[in-house]
Amino acid sequence: MKKYLLFLGLYIFCFANANAQMIADKAMMDLGNIDNYTNDTIYYYFTNTGAKTVYFLPTQPADDYQVLCSNKTIAPGDVFTVGIIYYTEKKGRFNLVVPLSFSNSYEPIKVQLIGHIKSINPSAFTVCPSIENSQPLNNRVPLNIVVRDKFTNEQIKNPKVNVGQNRRTINCVPGFRNMAFQCNCAYGPIKVNAGKEGYKPESIDFEYGKENNTCLVYLEPLPISRPDSIQQVYKPIVSQQKDTTEQPPIVYVPVADDHKDFNSTTYKPNHLIFVIDVSGSMKDTTKLPYLKASMKALIEVLRPEDYITLITYSSKVRVVFENVSGQSKVALLYAIDTLTARGASLGAEGLNLAYTMAHNHFIEGGNNQIFLATDGQFNGNHFKEEDVFKKAKHEANKSQIRLTTIAFGKTKNALLFLETLAEKGKGKMLRILNLTTDEAVLIEEVKASSIVKVYDK
């Protein structure tokens, strides 16, 4: 669903009632055709134009929607925000009418939400009946908890999930196909607890916030339920706690041609670290969406011996997943689909973290390569271009960690910065200007960087 639909301009619509105090921006919101429905919160704005305080009254609980509010007291002149989340698994046209009751009128004000759902995103939630309606809104992004098998990375069905916060336990409710969970808690530090018969229970600390709202929990199967051979094949996805144990480097040993065009004798194994700018300027339809399409094409051809790490940066730096095998395609593709753009652009911090990840999971004799994707230069209090150039050159020469940049936009200074950075890092500056011709640009770059030269054999 396109985010700009959630913040339409104000078109004053007056609702007739006894006091004529509450004025709303719109009585009906038409979302049109929705190609990828994700249960976003739809906002309505009311203004108290009267001389008396008005109170928002509790909304009758419903099975297919949730009502959220910014507060429950609307003083004269205040703007009051109501958020409505429509839960559905059905495609097609919908027409949702929600009655909202205020203390200044016996009759509720009815707001309407219509649209045509063409497809539903797997991350969308169905009804969450245990979450009380009319809770404070504060523009909070819902907490999404996903529980996976530590070794296969498959989502675990029907686990028990709850959240601890401020010395109280908050139960979480199952969402879409009972695969994800939603919990009504406040931003800040929380403890997520998950369990399932046949698995060891797990509790992790998580910093829940607007830009960090998806928590992945990995449960380890009990020894009797998982053969040792499988434990050796699969690796867990993102580690929730830093492992201080020194790990031996992965050594590249060519094997028989088992992957056709992208085979193990012709191409070295890869650890590819993507550092992606998800600041507000990357919202352009020819930027982040193009990058996601190209990354998904790359993931489709990755082999089990190839590993990938994804770091995003905007106002904060976030590790989306770390050192995941190319065989975990479903999980990787899902994570790419969830990327959205908003915030500032703290790229230097993201790049520094990428080099740390490259060293932590370095493949001896393989291709260890960082891809920096952005449409501009970095910002931040301590950022200096020269420092970034020196680091890229040092890592390329001493550690054989190549840096390739993926440039978007047309800003001359930004393009020059990215071109110079790639040159210092012994990589290239790539462009994705047209999906028809450029979608495979990442595949070709990885092949060119990982091909086994004659002198390597």
Closest CA to 104 of 14, 19, 15: 19
What pLDDT tens digit does each residue of the chain (457 aa) get? 433 333 333 333 333 344 447 777 777 888 888 887 766 677 788 888 888 888 888 666 566 777 776 567 888 888 777 878 787 778 899 999 988 888 888 788 888 889 898 887 654 544 333 333 444 444 556 677 888 877 666 778 778 888 988 888 887 766 544 556 777 788 889 999 999 888 889 998 888 887 677 788 888 888 753 333 323 333 333 333 444 444 444 444 444 334 457 887 788 999 999 999 888 778 777 888 899 999 999 998 998 889 999 998 877 788 888 888 888 888 888 888 878 877 666 677 888 889 999 999 999 989 999 999 988 767 655 668 888 899 999 999 999 999 999 998 888 888 899 999 999 999 999 999 888 888 899 999 999 999 887 445 4
Place of tokens 């219509």: 114
pLDDT, position 250: 43
pLDDT, position 109: 87
* Nearest-angstrom CA–CA distance, 176 and 181: 8
Task: Fill in the amino acid letter for 388.
Answer: V
* pTM of the predicted protein model: 0.47
- Other beta carbons within 10 Å of 271: 22
- Other beta carbons within 10 Å of 387: 12
* Residue 296 DSSP symbol: H
51 vs 47, 71, 78, 102, CA distance in Å?
Answer: 12, 18, 11, 15
Place of tokens 């190549």: 402
Q: For the chain, how long is the longest CA-to-CA vector?
A: 87
Tokens of 232: 């050796």
pLDDT, position 379: 64
Direct distance between the N- and C-terminal alpha carbons of the chain, in angstroms, rounded to an integer: 51
Which H/E stretch holds residue 144?
strand 143-149
pLDDT, position 135: 45
418 vs 222, 263, 375, 422, 439, CA distance in Å?
Answer: 48, 31, 9, 6, 20
pLDDT, position 235: 36
Domains defined along the chain, listed by start? 3-136 (2.60.40.10), 143-233 (2.60.40.1120), 250-456 (3.40.50.410)
Taking the CA of residue 191 as centre, how many other CA atoms within 13 Å lie in the half-sphere pointing to its CB? 10
